[in-house]
Amino acid sequence: MPKEPLKTDNPGKEDPNIDLTLRPVVWDEYIGQEKIKDHLKVILGAAKKRNEAADHLLFSGPAGLGKTTLAYLVARDLGGTVKTTSGPALEKVGDLAAVLTNLNPGEILFIDEAHRINPMIEEVLYPAMEARKLHLVVGKGPSARTLTLDLPPFTLIAATTRENLLSQPLRSRFGATLRLGYYTIDDIKRILERSAGILGVKTNEAAMDILARASRGTPRVANRLLRRARDFAEMHDKEVIDEAAAQNTLAMLEVDEAGLEPQDRRLLMTMIEKFKGGPVGINTLAAALSEERGVIEDIYEPYLMTLGFLQRSPSGRIVLPAAYRHLKIKGRDDLL
């Protein structure tokens, strides 16, 4: 059966980081995250049987793991379209009201970066989620009135990289929370092979293994490395992305074999050299690196913790022995 493109009402507002050509459009193309797919299929299957809008869903997990992609797969499964917005884009209550009143029955409302929704807007979201009511205050002062509008059945899908920053009242209004974790090397290899097929580029197994190990368990990173390796092969008149092409690509990007980028190494080295490997508080670390605390917490730390290179403890962050070994530095390794 020919694949239709995913339906969307506002293609211009899609996450620019999502590579449309490589994005899976049917469940079978979505590799990995098996438990989440199974869970979703039950939720969606039951909703379809009952002929109701599916429960509101919360997708949480690090950036680049496919939360937006999943939202589009859910929409396609339900035969509906998606309207997309994000926490920071909803500046005023009116912004949310405009989005909600424009929803078609059965449509998906996707709110990215949900941890950045402002509390005033959250208040409007609660009755919309629970009772499909939009309460608006019109007018000011003594003449202010509340206007209540009925909303069509819809499913809210909210995505967040920081589930802990979501308020409890908001969290409790989702029918299910699906937590995406980093992909295994094998899954990333399969994603790379699929993407290489779509891009029409030949690869070998060893090269895919090298790229997969450097992809931080993240499809978005994997696809970016693949594109750069394709550029490298093309520039060197190679027909195949082989081991040398993969290794040279990583060297060019200053990505090491475990996927660490210069910023990750700088973070670890700063902790080791300036703070004896920790414990060091997150604010102190952020100041030493001239980096935002949120970026450290969202982007660097989750992957470093997965590798067992870093630990968060009540007294601060600590560099673990595996990091010293990886960086080939003597240190705690000698003590432990």
Catalytic residue numbers? 67-68, 112, 161, 220
What are residue 150's DSSP bridge partners?
A: 133
Shortest distance in whole angstroms from residue 24 CB to ligand ADE: 5
Does residue 31 touch ligand ADE according to CB under 6 A? Answer: yes
Helix boundaries (H) for the chain: 34-50, 67-78, 93-101, 119-131, 168-171, 185-199, 205-213, 219-235, 243-253, 262-275, 282-289, 293-295, 301-306, 321-326, 332-335
Q: Which is nearer to ligand ADE, 82 or 117 (CB)?
A: 82
What are residue 321's DSSP bridge partners?
A: none
Binding residues for ligand ADE restricted to 128-147, rule: CB under 6 A: none
**Which of 61, 62, 66, 106 is the binder for ligand ADE (CB under 6 A)?**
66
Which one of 31-39, 131-139, 168-176, 231-239 is the stretch in contact with ligand ADE (CB under 6 A)?
Answer: 31-39
- Residue written as tokens 């939202």? 71
- Report d(CA 114, CA 16) in Å as an integer: 17
Q: Which is nearer to ligand ADE, 53 or 196 (CB)?
A: 196
Shortest distance in whole angstroms from residue 190 CB to ligand ADE: 8
Identify how many contiguous H helices and E strands the chain contains and give both numbers: 15, 11
Does residue 219 touch ligand ADE according to CB under 6 A? Answer: yes
Q: Which contiguous run of DSSP H or E holds residue 158?
A: strand 154-160
Q: Which is nearer to ligand ADE, 29 or 163 (CB)?
A: 29
Does residue 191 touch ligand ADE according to CB under 6 A? Answer: yes
**How many residues in the shown chain lie near ligand ADE by CB under 6 A?**
11
Tell me the Ramachandran region of residue 32: left when phi exceeds 0, alpha when psi lies from -120 to 50, beta otherwise: left
Interacting residues of 209 by C-beta distance below 8 A, sequence separation 6+: 185, 189
Rg of the chain (C-alpha set): 23
Q: Which is nearer to ligand ADE, 113 or 187 (CB)?
A: 187
Q: Which is nearer to ligand ADE, 18 or 288 (CB)?
A: 18
Comparing every residue's Cβ against ligand ADE, the nearest one is 66
Does residue 24 touch ligand ADE according to CB under 6 A? Answer: yes
Does residue 87 touch ligand ADE according to CB under 6 A? Answer: no
Binding residues for ligand ADE restricted to 240-299, rule: CB under 6 A: none
**Which of 6, 14, 30, 124 is the binder for ligand ADE (CB under 6 A)?**
30
Please name which of 320, 49, 12, 40 lies closest in space to residue 174, comparing C-alpha atoms. Answer: 40
Q: Which contiguous run of DSSP H or E holds residue 118?
A: none
Q: Which is nearer to ligand ADE, 191 or 307 (CB)?
A: 191
Does residue 178 touch ligand ADE according to CB under 6 A? Answer: no
Give residues in contact with ligand ADE (CB under 6 A).
Answer: 24, 29-33, 66, 69, 191, 194, 219
